[in-house]
A and B are shown apart, each in its own frame.
Chain A
């Protein structure tokens, strides 16, 4: 009994029956009609899901016969696994969306139900004309919903939609009839089996008409102005329906008929690609929220078409369930959620979305939906894109990979620019109160995406479940976000400490060493976060996610795990930077660059997978010279993320504008992620001769970054920007060390990494103290703080000395190793750059100390107390680390030597001694005592000389000491890079605006585009048919 109740055919009975009941029961009251709608939608969802379960366990699709006869004499429908998946997704989304229409007139309820039924009919039917009928049912229901619009713009948009889709429908009808004329069949299974019969001129026209009609219904560029107008003006609930449910139905129809178009797949792929890229280009210039979502929707449908066609073209049908299914589900749920949210918020312009600021749960929901659309983890779109790109790389389709990644980057840019606007907390938000119940579907959409993301991750072959630990910790922390700051800090600290310990213990080899360094550094810096006494809603959850992801990264055993964590680090650090209103532009820039870096890494992994055919990181070791491209891409990605010269433009703003403790985290720990990546990639590459030529180039880039960063630091007046450039400069040393591609180089790299972490942590915390106590960030406005902040002064001096490579501290040891190794390799250019950079580094650091702490204090400098104890505690821990590394370098160096393959290290000697022997003899004490003595003498001599000079000259204020050098430094650092990237950004936006001129608003012009598009498809197919035998 139950079995027959849940038979898929009941979907139509419920749909039609409900459609009749709604106006009938409406006479008793609107609540009755709404109840019928909800019940019907729930029933349809239940039937879809249960059918899916049944098909999954039986292994065979449910064949539905009608009219008491077999096909082709009667129409048949099928509920297979794909159909059930699509039906379940569509009906659940429709059920959730029903919440937004229950208060409308009964006509809306009726049309809504019929539309959903029509879409499910399109999904299930196996008859071509029946497909047309269901398509028309869906279209008419859509027209009806649009005709109930309130404003003239909505009506006009609805009519344009109408005009364009009737043309497409006519094409579909004519195509169907001509197919029938040629073959005598309307049954899809029969047509697919016998598709060779659709030949001759009429058959060809028929196929192109069908293809053209289906593609047109998916709103391709440029024939989609009508769709965009509807997305812009329709109420959120209707727009959600059109964007998700209707598009899903049409896409599934294309999927169903795809075997008929197997000769023309490239046309579908090209159309999809053009739509995806152009839609996202135009999206950059949008100022209206729903129209922006419309461009994103059309772009996503283009991506889906591209994915479907390309996977078929490259015979990768096995990847289709995850790649296409994942993208399908992702788009369906996330777009619906976003349109529902737009319907609730009711603000037309993007900048008005700042009403969301200060509402954490809403912001999280909004952020989740945007991350899902952008294809970021842990949502289904991410895993789908991974599968898609890996598949394309296996087939050598590098151009398509580039197109997909470019479009994705543009989309992420405008989506997160919108998110940044919504964080603007200066706007007045009190006049807007959404009902809790209204938001339930939006949150449900987010929840659904998270759950399906987990499922997709499993399908993609993710084995390490620990990858989700950062997110779970973040969620748990978000639940307690209302507690006091101290409590939250304590929980966060414990979570990071415990979780990190567990994660780190799972790492091996080089990864373990990096993990230990990152772990200790993160914990030390977390102590400093206590200095802020304000509530900081949403800070600790995101911090927990970031720190745990960082600590989990070295443990990654497969490229997928690595990449997921890499993107999680990017995302969480973006959200941390974006907390300050002044930092929005910097945060967006940071995100786009980091995503670009991530895409290079993704491309590198994909190409590597194609070459090696495996995803486990360690097997890179056996890759041959063909993997040069893979390593090149990986190196490019990691160097962008590290801020190498030329691609560093995001770094100063991101570090400088974020919260002070966040800057410390960014500079100390987050910047080490690309370093780890470079080390692993380099270590794996050494076994293959692939990249030894690239290594010298990378070394030069590293050292150029060092010099460039140092020069740029010298010209800064803002403390944090100066430290940011300094951080970039020091990272250049590490990049060069890795590029040495030798045991010595990597030992040095890890040593320098640990040093940089501690030093930059200390210095940024010093800056935090100064800014906290004086309220100023400019060096020209500071001075004479040494007396008032003696501890901070001392710590700053320690940090400066440790960084600058002066003995006796760690910086010296590291730089000595590095330069010696370069001499050994004959890398003279990098060496000279390195020496120059060290000198310049010394200059700006001394300037920093002098301008901040020495000299005469400004008259209006405020409070005089020293640093708050959390900052001092953190700095003490970091200094402890520096001291350990200074006096016991073997603690770090020996484990590295062990971690790197012993056979390998034994073959590398240095100056006739093996590294083991060298470090065996390394005793820092004599060197240290000697260098302290020498430094003391030199400093005393300088002091005396200056004192003598000051007697004869006027007393010169400390800060003007460097003013003479300023014009020289300014001349030597022309802003070529930032000008280039700024101009590129402007040109891209200008390009988007120009392309948008296609959409003039004239409905008839849109029909002309529709016809042009059809003619283009026809000619393209004809060309293909002509070219291929």
Chain B
């Protein structure tokens, strides 16, 4: 199974950019965007893992006999994993946004600096 290096690298880069966003942005909404980017990056990585160079869709029919399936078909499993991961990412993003709304309601600020009460 060969991995598409370009797509993989893009995915990892996107993950890192998202991580950087989470680490450096002070506005909560930007942090959430950073998380979303991180998630998208990881989904791209998932898809890239399944790719077979010059491969075709994993459907057994006249064009793709069973004997050649392993060599020529793109792996379907990572696609399923990607869909699951997207759904999970959706749910988490939704919860994060809900947090943002409640945090703003509590302190009228969306800056992460305003929420450093509990310490030591």
Contact = CB atoms under 8 A, between A and B. Distances in A.
B120 A143 contact: no
A177 B3 CA distance: 12
B42 A156 contact: no
Contact of B46 (A133, A153, A162, A177): A177
Interface in B58-97: 77-78, 81, 84-85, 88, 91-92, 95-96
B96 A1001 contact: no
B112 A181 contact: no
Contact of B91 (A140, A163, A232): A140
Interface stretch (A695-703, A917-925, A981-989, A1002-1010): A1002-1010
B49 A136 contact: no
Contact of B118 (A181, A1001, A1007): A1001
B1 A1004 contact: no
Given A147-B102, A155-B103, A1003-B116, A181 B22 contact: no
Interface stretch (A165-173, A447-455, A718-726, A743-751): A165-173
A166 B35 contact: yes
Contacts of A232: 118
25 contacts: A140-B92, A143-B99, A151-B106, A152-B117, A155-B106, A156-B115, A156-B116, A157-B118, A159-B28, A159-B96, A163-B35, A167-B19, A174-B42, A177-B49, A178-B49, A184-B1, A229-B118, A232-B118, A285-B120, A997-B120, A999-B120, A1000-B119, A1002-B116, A1003-B112, A1007-B22
Closest 7 CB pairs of A and B: A1001-B119, A156-B115, A1001-B116, A152-B106, A229-B118, A181-B49, A996-B120
B118 A155 contact: no
A637 B108 CA distance: 59
B22 A163 contact: yes
A129 interface: yes
Interface in A311-336: none
Given A155-B115, A184-B1, A1011-B23, 13 more contacts: A152-B106, A152-B117, A155-B103, A157-B118, A159-B96, A159-B115, A170-B38, A174-B45, A177-B42, A177-B46, A180-B49, A1003-B116, A1004-B23
Interface in A390-425: none
Contacts of B3: 181
B70 to A, nearest CB: 10
Interface string A848-869: 0000000000000000000000
Contacts of A156: 103, 115-118
Interface in A134-157: 136, 139-140, 143-144, 147, 151-153, 155-157
Given A1000-B116, A1008-B23, A177 B45 contact: yes
Contacts of A140: 88, 91-92, 95
A152 B115 contact: yes
A783 interface: no
B115 A1003 contact: yes
Interface of B: 1, 3, 15, 19, 22-24, 26, 28, 31, 35, 38-39, 42, 45-46, 49, 77-78, 81, 84-85, 88, 91-92, 95-96, 98-99, 102-103, 106-107, 112-113, 115-120
B43 to A, nearest CB: 9
Interface of A: 129, 133, 136, 139-140, 143-144, 147, 151-153, 155-160, 162-163, 166-167, 170, 173-174, 176-178, 180-181, 184, 186, 225, 228-229, 232-233, 285, 291, 993, 996-997, 999-1004, 1007-1008, 1011
A180 B38 CA distance: 20
A129 B84 contact: yes
A178 B118 CA distance: 37
A1001 B113 CA distance: 9
Nearest to A149: B102
Given A999-B119, A1003-B112, A170 B39 contact: yes
Contacts of A186: 77
A137 B35 CA distance: 18
A162 B96 contact: yes
A993 B46 CA distance: 44
Nearest to B100: A159
B101 to A, nearest CB: 9
A291 to B, nearest CB: 8
A174 B15 CA distance: 10
Contacts of A180: 49, 77-78, 81
A213 to B, nearest CB: 12
A1004 B117 contact: no
Contact of B95 (A162, A181, A1002): A162
Nearest to B43: A173
A234 B22 CA distance: 24
B120 A167 contact: no
B81 A177 contact: yes
Contacts of B99: 143, 147, 155, 158-159, 162
A121 to B, nearest CB: 14
A899 to B, nearest CB: 58
Nearest to A998: B120
B46 A136 contact: no
B10 to A, nearest CB: 14
A67 to B, nearest CB: 12
Nearest to B98: A147
A278 B15 CA distance: 32
Nearest to A180: B49
A152 B98 contact: no
B46 A163 contact: no
B45 A152 contact: no
A136 B38 contact: no
Nearest to B116: A1001
Chain A CB within 10 A, most for which of B35, B78, B102, B119 = B119
Nearest to A228: B118
Contacts of A166: 35, 38, 92, 96
A144 B95 contact: yes
B40 to A, nearest CB: 11
B119 A181 contact: no
Nearest to B12: A174
B34 to A, nearest CB: 10
